[in-house]
Structure 1
C-alpha cells in the first residue's frame, strides 16, 4: 500500500469531517435535533446528536475518491448506506427498537449478498482444528455476529468520546492487521473511517459539543463488524477470527453481560439502564474523562496483545483473554462491594483535564521542548537564503511580496497570532520551501544534503507542533476556522497535484507545509504571551 495514498485517504476524510461538524451542530440546535438530559444520562444540557452524518459522509467521500470498488468494498458501502439511513431516521424522528433492529438486519443482508462477505470459519476455537460453518448457517451467523457488534458499539456510546475512541483503537488495529495481511482495500477502508472519526472526535471529547447519535454508533458498529469479516474470511487471509474478537472484546462482553442481566430480570434486552462498565467506573468515584481514559487503556492493551500475538493459536488467545477478563471482572466486583478501601479513586477531579496537575506538568515540559522550534526555523531560514541566492532560484520574488504584505499587516494589527498574517507568512515560506525541495535537481551533490536536512527539520517541527497541539497551556494557540481552511486547501491541492502527476516535489512540499504552519503558530504564540 502506497504511504502517500494512505495519507491522502486519511487527510481527505479528516478535513471533510472537521469542516462538516460545525454547520451540522448549528443546524441541529436550530431545528431541535438534540439529546435531552435525563436520569439515565450523564450530560446535563441538550446536545446535538447528528454528528454521525459527518463521520459517514466524510468516510464515503474518501472511499469513492481513492478506494477501488471491489465487490467486498461495494457491499460494505451499500450496506453502510442502509445502516446510515436507519440511524439518521432514528436520530431525527425516532424508531422503535424492533424497526431499528430490522434496519440492521437488512443492512447486513445487503452487504452479504452484494459483497459476498460472510463468516464461513470460526478458526481453531477449541484446539481441535478449524470450525467450518455449513453453507446454510453462514449467512444467518454472519448477520447475528455483525448485528451483535452494531449493538455493542451503540450501547457503548454512553460517555463523551467513549465509543469513538474505542473504535479508533479498533480501526488502527484492523489497519495494521490488514497491512500485514496484504489486504489493501480493507486497510484503506480502515484509514478512511479513522480519519473521519478523528475529525468528529475533536468536537466529541469531554465536554462534548455534539454526539454521534445512532447514525454514528450504528454505522461504526456495522463497519467494524464487516471489516472484521473482511480481514478474516478472505481465501488468502492469515488473520485468525479470534483476533478481531479480542480487539472488540470489551464492548462485546459488556453488551452480553448487560443484556443477560436484563433478560434474567424479565426486561427487554434493549431497555436503557445504568449497568454498563462505564457506569460501574463512575460508581467507583472516577470522573467522566478518567473513566473514558481508563477504558481507552484497556482497549489499547488488548489491541496491542491481539496484534503482537496474532499468530498464536486461536483457542490459546481466546482462553487467555477470557481468563484475564474474568479476573478483572471479579476485581471490579470486589471494589464495588468495598468502595471504602479504594478511596484514592475519589481523588479524581471534575475540572477540565487541562487544569489537572499532571497534565500541566507535562504541558510545561513540552512547552520547554517547543523552544527547539526557534533554532529549527532559524536553520531552515538559513537554508532558504543559501538556496535562493546560490541556486539562483526565482521564488524569492513572489515570496518577498507575501512576506512584505505580512509585515504590513503586522504593523497594522501588532498581532503576530493573526490567522491571516500567519497565512501570508506560511505562503511565502512555502514558496521558498519549494525552491529548497527542487534544488537537488540543479546541484545533486549539495542539493541532496539540503533535502535530507530539510526532511529532518520538518520531521522535528511536525513532532513538536503536534505535541503542542495536544498539550496546550492557557493562552496557547488553537486551531481556528482559518487554520482548518488553510490545512484543508493544502490537502486538496496535494491530492490534485498527485493525481494529475504535475510534480511529486510540489505534492510533498504541500504536505510538509502543515508542519511549517504549526511551527509558525507555536512561535507566534510564544512571541505574544512571553
Structure 2
C-alpha cells in the first residue's frame, strides 16, 4: 500500500524510503561491477575531450532509475505516468549508451516524455505558458546530460537537488500530493547517494545517458508537479538547480554564438575548467556541493517569506551565481595566459 501520513511521521517514513533506495541502488551497481556485466553493457572510452584517463562503465542509470521509479510508484501512485516516462527515457538512453543514437531520435524521446506529462496534467495557465514550461523541462533534461562530466558532480547535484525538493514538500502539514512528492524525492536522493558511493573521485562508475537524462527529466517533472499542486512557487525548482542551469545555459549560449554544434562533446563548462585549472575532481565537486546547498537553504527559507521577498531572494541568488561564474572566467583567462606564455 502507498505510504501515508497515518503510517509514520514524515521523518521516519523519509528515512525508510531513503535507506531502501540507497541499498537497492548500491546492490544493483555492485552486482554489475562484480560480475563484469557493467563493462559489457556500456563503457566510456576516454578521448581528447574527456576529463578521465581510463575506460569506465557508465551504467549508473541501471541502479538509479529502478529505485527512483519504485519510489514514485509506491510513495506517489498518482505520479505513475512520470515513472513510466522515466523508464521509457532510460530504455532509449540505454540503447544510446551501448550503440549510439542520432540526436533527433534522442530529442524526440525527450519531447514525447515531457509532452506526455504536461498534456496528462495541464496546469491552469495559458497555453503559451505551458509551451514555455515544456521547453524549460526539455532543456533541463538535456543540460543534466551536459553537466555529467566530472566525478561526483551530477550524482551529488541529484542528491542535493532532490533532497531540497523533499525538504520543501515535507516541511509543513503536507497534504497527500505534497507528502507523496516528498517521499518520492527522498527516494531519488537516496538512490543518487548510493550511486555516489561509486562515483565520487576516483569514480568506479559513471552515470551514463540512462542516468543523466532520467535525472534531468525527474528534476523537471517533479518540479512541475510540485508547482501545479501548490507545493512550491514556479521559481523554486529553478533556484534549487540554479548552478547546473546557469553553467549549462551560459556555455550553450557561448557555443551557439560561435556557431558550434551544442550537442558535441567539449570541455568548456565551468566545472570542466575548474578541474583543468587544478582544482581536481574531488575539490570541484565539493565546491559545487557547498554552492548548491547554499542555494537550496535559501530556496527553502524563501518559501516562508512574502512574495516580494521570494523574488528578491531569486534575484539575489542570480547575482551570486553570475559573480561566481565571473570569478571562474577570470581565473580561466589567467590560466590560459600562463599556458600560452609557457609554450
What TM-score bracket applies, with the shorter chain setting the length?
0.7 to 0.9
- Shift in CA distance, 212/339, structure 1 to aligned 2, threshold 3 Å: closer
1:185 is displaced (CA, Å) by 1.1
| Mapped contact 2:44–2:56 kept (Cα < 8 A) | yes
Alpha-carbon deviations, 1:139-180, whole Å to 9, x = none? 422321111111121111111110010111111111011112
Q: Structure 1 CA distance, aligned partners of 2:294 and 2:39?
A: 41
Alpha-carbon deviations, 1:246-275, whole Å to 9, x = none? 111111111111111111111112122111
Q: Structure 2 CA distance, aligned partners of 1:202 and 1:117?
A: 38
Q: Find out whether 1:332 has 2:332 as its counterpart.
A: no
Q: Structure 1 CA distance, aligned partners of 2:71 and 2:320?
A: 39
- Give 2:151's aligned residue: 160
1:30 is displaced (CA, Å) by 5.2
- Shift in CA distance, 30/196, structure 1 to aligned 2, threshold 3 Å: closer
**Which structure exhibits the higher relative contact order, with contacts defined as CA atoms closer than 8 Å and separated by 6 or more residues?**
2
- Give 1:478's aligned residue: none
- Shift in CA distance, 85/154, structure 1 to aligned 2, threshold 3 Å: same
What does residue range 41-80 of structure 1 map to in structure 2 within 5 Å? 41-64=50-73, 66-70=74-78, 73-80=79-86
| Mapped contact 2:162–2:185 kept (Cα < 8 A) | yes
1:61 is displaced (CA, Å) by 2.9
| Mapped contact 2:298–2:313 kept (Cα < 8 A) | no
Q: Structure 1 CA distance, aligned partners of 2:238 and 2:49?
A: 29
- Give 1:316's aligned residue: 312
- Give 2:221's aligned residue: 226
Q: Find out whether 1:99 has 2:92 as its counterpart.
A: no
| Mapped contact 1:28–1:34 kept (Cα < 8 A) | no
1:315 is displaced (CA, Å) by 2.9
| Mapped contact 2:143–2:248 kept (Cα < 8 A) | yes
- Shift in CA distance, 268/12, structure 1 to aligned 2, threshold 3 Å: same
- Shift in CA distance, 333/74, structure 1 to aligned 2, threshold 3 Å: same
Structure 1 residue runs without a partner (length 5+): 121-132, 343-530
Q: Find out whether 1:34 has 2:40 as its counterpart.
A: no
- Give 2:160's aligned residue: 169
- Give 1:10's aligned residue: 18
- Shift in CA distance, 101/213, structure 1 to aligned 2, threshold 3 Å: same
What does residue range 505-516 of structure 1 map to in structure 2 within 5 Å? none
- Give 2:27's aligned residue: 19
| Mapped contact 1:79–1:107 kept (Cα < 8 A) | yes
1:105 is displaced (CA, Å) by 0.6
Moved over 6 A (4+): none
- Shift in CA distance, 265/28, structure 1 to aligned 2, threshold 3 Å: farther
Q: Find out whether 1:216 has 2:211 as its counterpart.
A: yes
- TM-score, scaled relative to structure 1: 0.58
- Give 2:341's aligned residue: none
- Give 2:89's aligned residue: 83
- Give 1:303's aligned residue: 296
Query: Aligned match of 2:278 in 285, 305, 309?
Result: 285
Q: Structure 1 CA distance, aligned partners of 2:135 and 2:154?
A: 21
Q: Structure 1 CA distance, aligned partners of 2:205 and 2:130?
A: 36
Q: Structure 1 CA distance, aligned partners of 2:41 and 2:318?
A: 44
1:340 is displaced (CA, Å) by 10
1:216 is displaced (CA, Å) by 0.4
| Mapped contact 1:80–1:222 kept (Cα < 8 A) | yes
Q: Which has the larger Rg?
A: 1
Structure 2 residue runs without a partner (length 5+): 339-343
What does residue range 459-474 of structure 1 map to in structure 2 within 5 Å? none
Alpha-carbon deviations, 1:192-228, whole Å to 9, x = none? 1112111121111111111110000001011111111
Alpha-carbon deviations, 1:401-456, whole Å to 9, x = none? xxxxxxxxxxxxxxxxxxxxxxxxxxxxxxxxxxxxxxxxxxxxxxxxxxxxxxxx
Q: Structure 1 CA distance, aligned partners of 2:293 and 2:169?
A: 18
Q: 2:136 aligns to what SS in structure 1?
A: helix
1:63 is displaced (CA, Å) by 3.7
- Give 1:357's aligned residue: none
1:117 is displaced (CA, Å) by 5.1
- Shift in CA distance, 23/334, structure 1 to aligned 2, threshold 3 Å: same
1:339 is displaced (CA, Å) by 4.5
1:29 is displaced (CA, Å) by 4.8
Work out the number of aligned pairs and report it.
322
Q: Structure 1 CA distance, aligned partners of 2:22 and 2:171?
A: 24
